[in-house]
Amino acid sequence: MKTIDSLVHARWIIPVGPDDTVLEHHSIAVSSSRIEAILPTEEARRTYQADHEITLDRHALIPGLVNAHTHAAMSLFRGLADDLPLMTWLTEHIWPAEQQWISPEFVYDGTLLATAEMIRGGTTCFNDMYFFPDETARAATDAGIRAVIGMIMIDFPTAWASGPDEYLSKGLELRDRYLKDPLISTLFAPHAPYTVSDAPLEKIQMLSEELDTGIHMHVHETADEISQSTATHNERPLARLDRLGLLSPQLLAVHMTQLAPDEIALVAERGAHVIHCPESNLKLASGFCPIHALHEAGVNVALGTDGAASNNDLDMLGEMRTAALLAKAVSGNASAVPAHMALRMATINGARALGLGDVCGSLEPVKVADIVAIDLDAIETSPIFHPVSQIVYAASRSQVSDVWVNGRRLLKDGRLTTLNEDQLRTLAANWQNRIAKGAGA
């Protein structure tokens, strides 16, 4: 018998790679943070001696969910300014609040709160864009979650940096600091075409090629953005990004609710990725991302929640359900995004967009052990004809019982192991009081 770290037995294993596969009564063998084997449970028991052996006979194991677009620290602004269109929400409420409150402490505390919520909901990797990204990385490290940290860029000064040159130098310093970290990686993160001018974008494009590093950016989020770009640059944002060389396989274009057919073809031709945030787009009335048309064109589409200030949760199971249902309604095709495709969008598609497709996003030997267990033995998910359909269309994040990142168990029987839930509730209440008093003043 070979000795390994962990052996997890489950009623079902849904590896995602290969597509639409469900393995019954199988087990995952984990050694040195990686998946060593996936095999029938009886064979696993004969083959391996594990330091930790877990039997989850009511559960489905899936790859850890990849939240491909977040502003994690904004969990502290959850519910601050609801039921408003994007630009009103942003310019009259969120930006003023950020000017008043953004600090290293705010970002660290807000990210801790967000990571707790994400882990409890089965997210094992998130891709973030926010100020003080060094604090985001520190909080993610303390929580034990995998994170891709955005090297933020915006034209105007903030508490984090005085202008484009300082944003870039601080971002590259952060990249160097985490270059060999097993859980933290970085992407360039220019905020949006309407907040970043040509010169910084050209510099980012050059560095992206030189360093083989992706670019994470809000693009074609609203009709106002298109009108503004046409008036200012005499071209639509995608055309401008293409002219500047940013529309490439390195680009993660977030939202993309305003797309003409020729733009969908261009995105596919250039190999860019699209990050779909359906619930945030719905809440802000930003529009509908044409997921079915993008899939038909061969574009890699991943899922993100956006920040908790505009969603208002970081629930990737909920995001999967919304994405699947919305795609059917928008396209008029009930088969537009079937359940297994929604699960791919929340796992391997996100990992590929982030440059982590060889690391995580599916349950396969040699990949890291980022694993989520969902208890399907609930009234709400019974009976079980098709486990993937139950996960996408019926399960809730409260049914996530266990989560492993890099082979480390961050959630055990529904309880966080690296973060103190009572302390997080106190932290959130303290920030609520501070922000409410400041807003009143």
pLDDT tens-place values along the chain, 441 residues long:
899 999 999 999 999 987 789 999 999 999 999 999 999 999 999 999 999 999 999 999 999 999 999 999 999 999 999 998 888 988 999 989 998 999 999 999 999 999 999 999 999 999 999 999 999 999 999 999 999 999 999 999 999 999 999 999 999 999 999 999 999 999 999 999 999 999 999 999 999 999 999 999 999 999 999 999 999 999 999 999 999 999 999 999 999 999 999 999 999 999 999 999 999 999 999 999 999 999 999 999 999 999 999 999 999 999 999 999 999 999 999 999 999 999 999 999 999 999 999 999 999 999 999 999 999 999 999 999 999 999 999 999 999 999 999 999 999 999 999 999 999 999 999 999 999 887 543
How far is Cα 52 from Cα 428, in angstroms, rounded to an integer?
Answer: 34
The reply to whether 276 and 394 lie within a common domain is: no
pLDDT for 18 equals 77
Residues 190 and 262 in one domain: yes
Tokens 């990210």 found at: 111
Residue 89: its pLDDT value, please?
87
Residue at which a domain ends, from 292, 322, 353: 353
pTM, two decimals, is: 0.97
Q: Is residue 280 part of a domain?
A: yes
Tokens of 324: 């699947």
Same domain, 183 and 233: yes
Q: Does 440 map to a domain?
A: no
Q: What is the pLDDT of residue 437?
A: 84
Residues 22 and 156 in one domain: no
Is 414 among the domain residues?
no
- Name the nearest CA neighbour of 50 among 36, 64, 61: 36
For residue 302, being part of any structural domain is answered with: yes
Residues 78 and 168 in one domain: yes
Q: Has residue 411 been placed in a domain?
A: no
Tokens for 277, please give them: 């945030």
Residues 72 and 192 in one domain: yes
- For residues 262 and 341, membership in a common domain is answered with yes
Structural domain includes residue 297: yes
85 and 26 in a single domain? The answer is no
**Does residue 434 lie in a domain region?**
no
Calculated CA dihedral for residues 219, 225, 228, 232, nearest 10 degrees: -10
Residue 395 placed within a domain: yes
CB 163: neighbour CB atoms within 10 A?
A: 14
- Write the secondary structure of the chain as one string of H (helix), E (strand) and C (coil): CEEEEEEEEEEEECCCCCCCCCEEEEEEEEECCEEEEEEEHHHHHHHEEEEEEEEEEEEEEEECEEEEEECHHHHHHCCCCCCCCHHHHHHHHHHHHHHHHCCHHHHHHHHHHHHHHHHHCCEEEEEECCCCHHHHHHHHHHHCCEEEEEEEECCCCCCCCCCHHHHHHHHHHHHHHCCCCCCEEEEEEECCCCCCCHHHHHHHHHHHHHHCCCEEEEECCCHHHHHHHHHHHCCCHHHHHHHCCCCCCCEEEEECCCCCHHHHHHHHHHCCEEEECHHHHHHCCCCCCCHHHHHHHCCCEEECCCCCCCCCCCCHHHHHHHHHHHHHHHHCCCCCCCHHHHHHHCCHHHHHHCCCCCCCCCCCCCCECCEEEEECCCHHHCCCCCHHHHHHHCCCHHHEEEEEECCEEEEECCEECCCCHHHHHHHHHHHHHHHHHHHHC
Q: Are residues 52 and 173 both part of a single domain?
A: no
The CATH number assigned to the domain holding 45 equals 2.30.40.10
Tally the residues of the chain.
441
344 and 322 within one domain: yes
Residue 288's contacts (CB-CB under 8 Å, 6 or more residues apart) are 257, 281, 326, 330
Tally of CA atoms within 13 A in the half-sphere of 168 that contains its CB: 16
Same-domain pairing of 56 and 83: no
| pLDDT given for residue 17 in this prediction | 82
| CATH number of 336's domain | 3.20.20.140
Domain count, the chain: 2
User: pLDDT at position 439, please?
Assistant: 57
Taking alpha carbons only, the member of 263, 245, 311 closest to residue 89 is 311
Q: Which of 292, 323, 353 is the last residue of a domain?
A: 353
Q: Are residues 208 and 306 in the same domain?
A: yes
Domain that holds residue 38: 2-63+369-406
Q: What is the pLDDT of residue 440?
A: 46
